[in-house]
Amino acid sequence: MTCPTAARLRAHVDVADAEVAGHLADCVACTECVAGFRASARLAATAIATLDTDSPAAVDVEAALQHVVPQPSSVSRHHPVRRPASIAAGVIALLVAVVLVVTPSGRQAAAGFLAGFRAEQIQVVTFDPDQPLVGFESLADIADVDTGGIEDAQPTEVDDLEQAADISGFQPSQTSSLPEGATVEGMQASPPSTVRLTFVAARAPELPPALDGAELVVSVPGAVASAYQVDGQMLVVAEAGQLTVDAVGAELGQIREYLLSRPEVPSDLARQLLAIDDWTTTLPIPVPVDSVVWQDTTVAGHPGLMLQDPMGSGLLWQADGRIHAIGAEGLDVDALRLIADGLR
DSSP state of 52: G
Q: How far is the CB of 268 from other proteins (least distance, A)?
A: 15
Question: Which of 3, 19, 35, 78 is close enough to bind other proteins by CB under 8 A?
Answer: 78
Q: Rule CB under 8 A: choose which of 3, 21, 35, 36 binds other proteins.
A: 36
73 binds other proteins (CB under 8 A): yes
Is 7 in a helix, a strand, or coil?
helix
27 sits near other proteins (criterion: CB under 8 A): no
Q: Which of 16, 19, 22, 53 binds other proteins (CB under 8 A)?
A: 53
Cα separation, 139 vs 20, whole angstroms: 59
How many chain residues interact with other proteins (CB under 8 A)? 60
Q: Is 184 in the site for other proteins (CB under 8 A)?
A: no
Radius of gyration over every alpha carbon of the chain, rounded to an integer in angstroms: 23
- The stretch among 193-201, 255-263, 301-309, 326-334 that binds other proteins (CB under 8 A) is 301-309
Give the Cα separation of 285 and 126 in Å (integer).
Answer: 7
Among the listed ranges 131-139, 195-203, 233-241, 294-302, the one in contact with other proteins (CB under 8 A) is 294-302
Give Cα separations from 77 to 64, 69, 80, 83, 234 (angstroms). Answer: 14, 13, 10, 19, 53
274 lies in the site for other proteins, by CB under 8 A: yes
**Closest C-alpha to 110, from 98, 118, 120, 119:** 98
Q: Is 65 in the site for other proteins (CB under 8 A)?
A: yes
Taking the C-alpha atoms of residue 90 and residue 57, their distance in angstroms, rounded to an integer, is 12
Asked if residue 183 lies in contact with residue 228, where contact means CB atoms within 8 angstroms, the answer is: yes
Interface residue list for other proteins (CB under 8 A): 5-11, 14, 36-37, 39-41, 43-45, 47-56, 58-59, 61-62, 64-65, 67-69, 71-75, 78-83, 274-275, 277, 281, 298-303, 319-321, 341
